[in-house]
Amino acid sequence: MKKKVALHNLGCKVNAYETEAMQQLLEAAGYEIVPFAPGADVYVINTCTVTNIADRKSRQMLHKAKKMNPEAVVVAAGCYVQAGKEKAEADPSIDLIIGNNKKQDLISVLEQCLETKERREEMIDISHTKEYEKLQIDRTEEHTRAYIKVQDGCNQFCTYCVIPYARGRVRSRKTADVVREVERLAISGCQEVVLTGIHLSSYGVDRKEDGETLLSLIQAVHQVEGIKRIRLGSLEPGIVTEEFAKELSQLKKMCPHFHLSLQSGCTDTLKRMNRRYTAQEYAEKCEILRKYFSCPALTTDVITGFPGETEEEFSQSRDFVEKIGFYETHIFPYSRREGTKAAGMPEQLPEGIKKERSRVLIEIGMKHQREFMEKFLGQKREVLFEERQDIQGTAYWVGHTMEYLKVAVVSDEDLGNRILEVKLKEILPEGIMIGKID
């Protein structure tokens, strides 16, 4: 009788990719995948540790799994156990600990655990490995869009971030391996791929002798037949050069949608964050992208209330966000993370100030998002349709343009995984554009 396995993912797109890869390993080994509910024989939780809240959520899901079936094997995988090994070892809810770079060994380790019924641990010193973990997917649940992990680890050591300690140093996947995976996904029907990593802009820096860069990787993926769109995960400003932007603009599959991580529009705050660029340098990168792409969608992240952020520094950051005019601005109140340099910095700000500053930036972000969408009213755009969705009581087919504008149309046809030209006619308060197929 097949063992039943339930999986739950926490955290980033890289984690989501790895969870999907682990699921496909389990399926290939003969396990039955079931919902994350009572009745499973094995629960696999791919954990996150980016904030103290993420740690708490990881613990909660592990404890929930053990309560759903006290006899089940509960597997704690990923960043939470990698960064907090002692806490994981002391947690009686966990039967199997699998650190980063060991998820590829899930089947063999799990089967040993099931056979011996003994608690097991599979971990390495992540900060001293140069090995890129061999995980891959052959299909994606979304069918239309696939996230492809091409890089792991980070060498930046931003003062607020624990991820270099959980993920180790930069490790890049070979271009040939990425291309083979994209080819398989194209055969399965996937039309769009999103290249992602822990620090995507560092792709290739660990293998300079191979001459592989993020740009050369994108160009290789662009050659894959069946793939119609290429999108990128989060980028650092430093990678955006005249050459980089110009070369990308010549690739017809390249989506004009760039997430450039900002964190603060104040240079003094950026220095305390160890972000390695100034606000002025960041603005110049945005201008380069706007030079080579017609109306690109620029999105970003901003942290409010970083330790020592004065009213003047916040004002500079607010004015900077106002000046750049992002399509989407993701705002995060600073969350103190144990084990980081920022956690020990003086002048930690009260939660109330963080939340108020977040509110101000969220309002600016919403205004800019609508202004960006208004530029496309009356225009025709190709939309890759993904799913049916109920919006204000009406059934729509919903998809995205290359700029990642969310578009909805009424149609009796099955539009799933089709790319169609749509005239954009209206903007709903939910940030969705209503269109009509010509």
Per-residue pLDDT tens digits for 292-305: 999 999 999 999 99
The first and second tokens of residue 435, run together, are 């269109």
State residue 142's pLDDT score: 76
State residue 426's pLDDT score: 96
CB atoms within 10 A of CB 97: 24
Q: Over the chain, what is the mean pLDDT?
A: 96
What mean pLDDT do residues 249-270 have? 98
Pairwise CA distance, residues 436 & 421, whole Å: 9
Residue 413's pLDDT band (boundaries 50, 70, 90)?
Answer: very high
Chain centre distance of CA 34: 25
Residue appearing with tokens 């554009």: 433
Which residues, including other chains, have CB under 8 Å from residue 385's CB and lie 6 or more apart? 144, 397, 398, 399, 409, 415, 416, 417, 418, 419, 420
Residue 141's pLDDT band (boundaries 50, 70, 90)?
Answer: confident
Which residues, including other chains, have CB under 8 Å from residue 336's CB and lie 6 or more apart? 52, 342, 343, 348
Question: What is the residue extent of each domain of the chain?
Answer: 4-124, 145-373, 380-437
Contact 138, 24 (CB under 8 A): yes
Cβ burial of 220 (10 Å; 0-12, 13-18, 19+) is: middle
State residue 252's pLDDT score: 98
State residue 149's pLDDT score: 98
Does domain 145-373 sit in CATH 3.65.10.10?
no
What is the CATH number that goes with domain 4-124? 3.40.50.12160
State residue 148's pLDDT score: 97
Instruction: Reply yes or no on whether the pLDDT at 92 is more than 90.
Output: yes
Task: Return the CATH fold of 380-437.
Answer: OB fold (Dihydrolipoamide Acetyltransferase, E2P) (2.40.50)
Residue 392's pLDDT band (boundaries 50, 70, 90)?
Answer: confident
At 198-244, the pLDDT tens digits run 999 999 999 888 899 999 999 999 999 999 999 999 999 999 999 99
Asked if domains 4-124 and 380-437 share a fold, the reply is: no
Instruction: Reply yes or no on whether the pLDDT at 269 is more than 80.
Output: yes
Pairwise CA distance, residues 107 & 96, whole Å: 12
Q: pLDDT higher for 368 or 85?
A: 368
pTM of the model: 0.95
Instruction: Reply yes or no on whether the pLDDT at 1 is more than 80.
Output: no
Residue 257's pLDDT band (boundaries 50, 70, 90)?
Answer: very high
What mean pLDDT do residues 154-176 have? 97
Cβ burial of 392 (10 Å; 0-12, 13-18, 19+) is: exposed
At 73-91, the pLDDT tens digits run 999 999 999 999 899 999 9
Residue 386's pLDDT band (boundaries 50, 70, 90)?
Answer: very high
Strand order in the sheet with 4-9: 32-33, 4-9, 42-47, 73-78, 96-98, 120-122
State residue 368's pLDDT score: 98
Residue closest to 404 by CA, chosen among 381, 421, 420, 423: 381
At 28-84, the pLDDT tens digits run 999 999 999 999 999 999 999 999 899 999 999 999 999 999 999 999 999 999 999
H or E element in which residue 386 lies: strand 380-391
At 317-328, the pLDDT tens digits run 999 999 999 999
Contact 354, 334 (CB under 8 A): yes
State residue 438's pLDDT score: 79
Do the strands 73-78 and 380-391 form a parallel or antiparallel pair, or are they unpaired? unpaired
What mean pLDDT do residues 106-110 have? 96
Instruction: Reply yes or no on whether the pLDDT at 348 is more than 80.
Output: yes
